[in-house]
Structure formats: C-alpha cells, structure tokens
Structure 1
Amino acid sequence: MQEVIHAEGHENVSAEHVSTFEVTTDDFLTPAGDCILGIEADRAPADFDPEFVAACQHEEATITATFETENYSETVTGRGDPDLTFESDRSAVGRTSDYVDDRTILVGAEFAAEGFDRELVSALAEGAELTVTLTVERDE
C-alpha cells in the first residue's frame, strides 16, 4: 500500500536534524526548521487512507519513505507502531526514535534529515519539486 505527497523545496532547507525528517503543509520555512525537507505539501497524515493507517499500526510493518526530485532520489526505511494515529493535518514526520505523536509516520528510521544525500538537499534548497512516496509492507 502506498500514499503519495507532493511538496516543494525552499531556500531554508538545510536537512541538519539528527533524529527526524519532515514534510509540512506550511507555506513557509524558517532556518530553525532543520528537519524539514519540503513545504506546501498537498496532503498530510490525516488525509491517508484508513487501510494504510491500519497497516502502519503493526510493529512488524516496514514503512519506506522515498523522496524524489527530478534528478535525485533517497529512500529511508523505518517501522510501524501501534500508537501511530496519522491525525496531523499539517506535518508528516519520520523519526529515528520510538517517539510517537499525531505527526509521526514512521519510527526507527535508519537515518534522519542529516543523513539525506547532500545533492538532493541542495536541489530542495533551490526549490525543487518533491514527491514523497510512503510504502507499507507487513510480514504475516
């Protein structure tokens, strides 16, 4: 199962955060938002299909987030959690930790914003269009 989010880069994309990455529906980004990779997202977790959400609420679920611009692609994998609610109507956040709030889309990510390819980050800082594809798989 998949969910797709379309967003845009911004001149303040720095991708320096050590424990999270984020895409937001906000239309602005300050330098303090060092986990944010894309703004003006066309969807938020609250928009996701209930079946997708249910699949992500299993500890055995593997959730993959693929970030793509015209010339670059980066994939980060994490896992699901029974506490994931996908209720945020504003932001989608991936975490390296086990912390969960209404914005969390995956936990136990293999890396955070600081681990993203610097060429991808540069493209986003130049305003590149971003497609984020979330895929959930579960071992039965």
Structure 2
Amino acid sequence: MARLTEKIEARGHPNVRANHKTTFEFTKDDFVTVKGDCILAVKASKAAADLSLSFKRLASSELARIVFIIEVDGIIELAVGRGSRSLTFTDETAIVARKSNYVCPKTVMINSDKAAKDFTRVFIEHLRNPDAKVNITMIIES
C-alpha cells in the first residue's frame, strides 16, 4: 500500500461562513465574500494543480482513501473521502472536497464524509480570524 502526504498552509478570513451542504474549499485568493459559503480558508499555499505528481497519480484511483487533517489554533478536524480516475487536478486557484462524486478541475476528493456545514461551529469561529494560520495535511493511501 502506498501512502503520501501533502501539506498546505492557509489563513482565516472574517467572511468564512461554512454553510455549504456538499463541499468545502481552500482558495489561493486572499479574500472570500459571504456568498463563498464552502470556503474554509484563504491564501492557500497550493491549489489542485500544485499538488505533487505522485499525489495526483495515487488520487486518480477509485481505491484511493484521502484524509484531510485541518488544524487551526490547536483545534483539529478531519474529513475522509475517496479519489477518482476522473480527477484532473488542473485548477490553479483552489482545492475542493465533495460529498458527491461530481468532479471539476478544483476537485481533489469525492465522497467526503464532511462538507463545510459539518465542521463544528467552534472550529469555524477560529477560521474567521484573519490572523489564524490554518494547517492542512492531506494523506492519501492507495
């Protein structure tokens, strides 16, 4: 079994709402409007296109298990999902995880057990702090 890790750094933002029912997202943009209700953090150090070739290859399997470990201010939340041979990893601004099996250039994980609305509200409050450093670790096993 192969196992790889990707690390991403991002920042919080006062407009983080995290009410989306089917996705969560990290963006390289330095802002989010209140309409961006799936976005958890801004100023991400990587987008889908920036992930390593090894990670992309492993994630392009239906058997790939992907875990997001998201930490802010010592609070840790997890989301678990799957890879897909349909993933393209071509978006240069964002990373999206989805509860469904829908795929677009931003998508890096499908069949997620969480969407933005499923993260605890205490966790989301910390993500609203623009000074908060958000550490994202993606672990893939295939």
Q: TM-score, normalized by length of structure 2?
A: 0.95
Is 2:133 the counterpart of 1:129? yes
5+ long unaligned stretches in structure 2:
none
What count of residue pairs does the alignment treat as equivalent?
138
**Counterpart of 2:123 in 1: which secondary structure?**
helix
**Counterpart of 1:15 in 2: which secondary structure?**
coil
2:89 to 86, 108, 115: 86
Letter in 2 for 1:7: A
Moved over 2 A (4+): none
Q: 2 CA distance for matches of 1:104 and 1:64? A: 14
Q: 2 CA distance for matches of 1:61 and 1:26? A: 28
Alignment of 1:1-140 (within 5 A): 1-127=4-130, 128-138=132-142
5+ long unaligned stretches in structure 1:
none
Q: TM-score, normalized by length of structure 1?
A: 0.96
The root-mean-square deviation of aligned C-alpha atoms, in Å, is 0.7
Q: 1 CA distance for matches of 2:116 and 2:76? A: 14
Q: Once the 2 structures are TM-superposed, how far is the Cα of residue 129 of structure 1 from its aligned partner?
A: 1.0
Q: 2 CA distance for matches of 1:47 and 1:126? A: 26
Identity of aligned residues (%): 38
